[in-house]
Structure 1
Amino acid sequence: MTSLYAISIPVLANVLKVTSTILKKGEQWAKEQKMSSADLLALRIYDDMLPLGMQVWINVVTTKKAIERLTGTAPPQIEGREKTIEELYAMIDDTLKELAQVKKEDVDDRDGVEVPCVFGKNEYKTSLVEYVHGYPIPTVYFHLNMIYAILRGKGVSLGKMDYMEEFMAPFTKIN
C-alpha cells in the first residue's frame, strides 16, 4: 500500500522543483527580451487570471499549508503576496528544505486525522488522505500548468521534458 507520505511530500517537492526550473527559463527569456523581472511576473494569459508571480506564490503557500496539515506543525508563514523573482526563488528553496525535513513517520499513520480546508469562501473538513487528493495536489498541478502555459504562450522555449523531467527522475532508462 502506498503511504500518505509517498503520495504527498515527494510530489509537492517535484512540483516546486519544476516550478523553479520553468521560472528560470522564463527569467532567461525575459532577459533576452530586455524585459524586467517585474514585467515577467506580471504576465498572464487573460486579464482576469492571476499573474505568473501569483501562480508561483500559490504553489509555495499551498505546499506550506500541506506540510502543516500533514505533520500537525505549522511552518513559518509567508508575509505578503507581491514578491520579486529573487524572493520567489528563496521561497521555493526554503519550502524545499522544509519538505526535505519531513520524515515519513511524521506523516504516515495520520490518514484518518480530520483537517480543515478553506477554498474561496467555503470551509471544509476532511481526512488527510482526502485532503491530499482533493486540494494540495490538484492545486499545485493546476498552478504549475498555468506557469507553464503563461510562459510558453508568451514565447518561452519550453517543451514537455522541461515539465516532465523531474517527475521521471526515478525512472530507469532502458534505451
Structure 2
Amino acid sequence: MSLSLYEVSVPVFIRALENLSAQLEKGRAFADERGIAHGELLDARLYEDMAPLTAQIQRASDTSKGMAVRIGQLDNVAMADDEDSFDALQQRIARTIAFLRAVPAEALNGREDAEVPLTVRGTMLNFTGRSYVLSFALPNFFFHVTTAYALLRHKGVPIGKLDFLGGYASAPAE
C-alpha cells in the first residue's frame, strides 16, 4: 500500500501544530512562573537577522495552509500576521488546525503530478504536487517549527525532544 499526499502532509502538519501549541503553553507557564515578560519569549530571535518566535509560528501556519491551498486548489483562510501574545498565537494555531481538518483527502490525492507554481523572493519555482510536498512544504514547515522549539529552549523553557515529537502516546495507530 502506498502513502498518499494527504497522509504525508495534513496529519503530519496537524500533529506538529498540536505539539507546537503544547510547547507554547509550557513557554507561557515558564514565563509566568519566572516573572518573565511574555514579549521576551515572543520577540526572541536566535540571531538578530532572523524572524522572532511569533513569525516562526506564522510561517508554519502559512506553509501548512498554503500546501493544501496550492495542491488542493482550495480557498485560503487569510490570517493577518499580527499575533502579539500567546493567546493570539494559540488562536492562530487552532484556526490553522481547523482549516487542515476540513481539507478533504480527495482534494490532494491524485494530484501528485499536478503543476504547482510558486514564486519565492521573485523567483518562479515549478513543482509537481509530490515534489512540492516532499521537497518544499514539509521541509519549510519543519524549519519554522524547529526554530520555534529552539527559541523556546534558548530562553530556558523546559521542553525536550518528546515535546517536539509529541510523545509516543499520541502516535497515530497503524
TM-score in terms of structure 2 length:
0.90
Q: Which amino acid aligns with 1:47?
A: E
Q: Which amino acid aligns with 2:77?
A: P
- Flag structure 2 segments of 5+ consecutive residues without an equivalent: none
- Flag structure 1 segments of 5+ consecutive residues without an equivalent: none
Give the secondary-structure state (helix, strand or coil) at the position aligned to 1:135.
Answer: helix
Is the CA contact (8 Å cut-off) linking 1:67 and 1:74 kept in structure 2? Answer: no
Q: Which amino acid aligns with 2:166?
A: E
The corresponding residue for 1:32 is 33
The corresponding residue for 2:58 is 57
Q: Deviations over 1:90-143 (max 9, x none)?
A: 111011111111122121111111011232332211101100011110011111
The corresponding residue for 2:123 is 122
**Coordinate RMSD, CA, aligned:** 1.8
Is the CA contact (8 Å cut-off) linking 1:57 and 1:81 kept in structure 2? Answer: no
Question: Where in structure 1 do 4 or more consecutive aligned residues deviate above 6 Å?
Answer: none
Q: Which amino acid aligns with 1:95?
A: T
Task: State how far apart, in whole Å, the 2-side matches of 1:165 and 1:116 are.
Answer: 33
The corresponding residue for 1:73 is 74
The corresponding residue for 1:42 is 43
The corresponding residue for 1:7 is 8
Query: Within the alignment, does 1:108 sit opposite 2:116 as a pair?
Result: no
The corresponding residue for 2:20 is 19
Is the CA contact (8 Å cut-off) linking 1:117 and 1:131 kept in structure 2? Answer: no
The corresponding residue for 1:95 is 96
Is the CA contact (8 Å cut-off) linking 1:42 and 1:52 kept in structure 2? Answer: yes
TM-score in terms of structure 1 length:
0.90
Task: State how far apart, in whole Å, the 2-side matches of 1:40 and 1:47 are.
Answer: 14
Cα drift, residue 170 of structure 1: 2.8
Q: Which amino acid aligns with 2:112?
A: D
Cα drift, residue 83 of structure 1: 3.4
